[in-house]
Amino acid sequence: MSYHVVELREIEPGIVQLTMQDRTFKNAFSDNLISELASAFEEVSRNTSFKVVILTGYDSYFCSGGTQDGILSIANGKARFTDFNVYALPLECDIPVIAAMQGHSIGGGFVFGMFADFVVMSLESVYTTNFMRYGFTPGMGATYIVPKKLGISLGTELLLSAGNYRGGELLKRGVPFPVVPRNEVLKYALQTARLVTDMPRVSLVTLKQHLVADMKKELNAVVDKELVMHEKTFQQEEVKNRIITLYGK
């Protein structure tokens, strides 16, 4: 398959790297990025020689979350975040996924990374769940996965405050992931991937299915509740105005 904003490359035997590189939208969830990520993960699932995925971005961007048009479509009742289940692709992947979050990870982009099995952050990058900055409640499973991965206290703070946190600050706050200089993120992820490829693929798939089984069940119920909250919070005129005036600032 031909890819334009996602690069799929086997960098070592059994290790496939998916690089998001939609420079036009700074790796926001454009139509192209969504469709190519879905296709890339499908290709990964079909190739039984792959044992681990490294998911990363380009330069200083990992993933920027929803596009302005995409968020406004939800506000206008024309779409829901469940229309494209891109956020849970790492969770649904048969083999382990390492999110090498070398760059800024914003809103749904941060949530996307949290659904990976391993996470590596950079000291310099900004990490934020900024949904509430626009006045609407979080979606994409954020209210489930962020507290689960970061802990109740820090996860709740990120969701409610919608603040920007540098990786270095999160490291001091005890985030349970390795946080290294940006130029070392991929190196760290590759070292982890090499450990994983030493295992039999059948065993890797079997163990991952076991580890994420409860998460998948719990996530479905949370997503239903997030959709109910969206029905209420996206209807505010203030929310639409915030999306128009604050997006990208």
Within 105-151, where are the H helices? 108-114, 142-150
> Taking the chain, what is the end-to-end CA distance rounded to the nearest angstrom?
36
Contact call for residues 123 and 103 (beta carbons, < 8 A): no
* pLDDT computed for residue 30 by the predictor: 97
On the question of pLDDT at 1 being above 70, the answer is: no
Q: Which residues, 6+ apart, have CB-to-CB distance to 10 below 8 Å?
A: 16, 17, 50
Q: Which residues are catalytic?
A: 230
- Which domains are assigned to the chain? 6-184 (3.90.226.10)
- The CA distance from 201 to 50, in Å, is 8
Query: Where residue 160 falls among pLDDT bands split at 50, 70, 90?
Result: very high
On the question of pLDDT at 35 being above 90, the answer is: yes
pLDDT tens digits, one per residue of 176-196 = 999 999 999 999 999 999 999
DSSP string, 20-75: E--TTTTTB--HHHHHHHHHHHHHHHH-TT--EEEEE-BTTEEE-BS-HHHHHHHH
- The CA distance from 46 to 35, in Å, is 17
Within 117-249, where are the H helices? 142-150, 152-161, 167-172, 185-197, 201-233, 237-246
* pLDDT computed for residue 249 by the predictor: 78
Q: What percent of the chain has pLDDT over 90?
A: 97
pLDDT tens digits, one per residue of 203-224 = 999 999 999 999 999 999 999 9
- The CA distance from 147 to 26, in Å, is 26
Average pLDDT of every residue of the chain: 97
Q: What is the pTM of this model?
A: 0.97
- The CA distance from 135 to 132, in Å, is 5
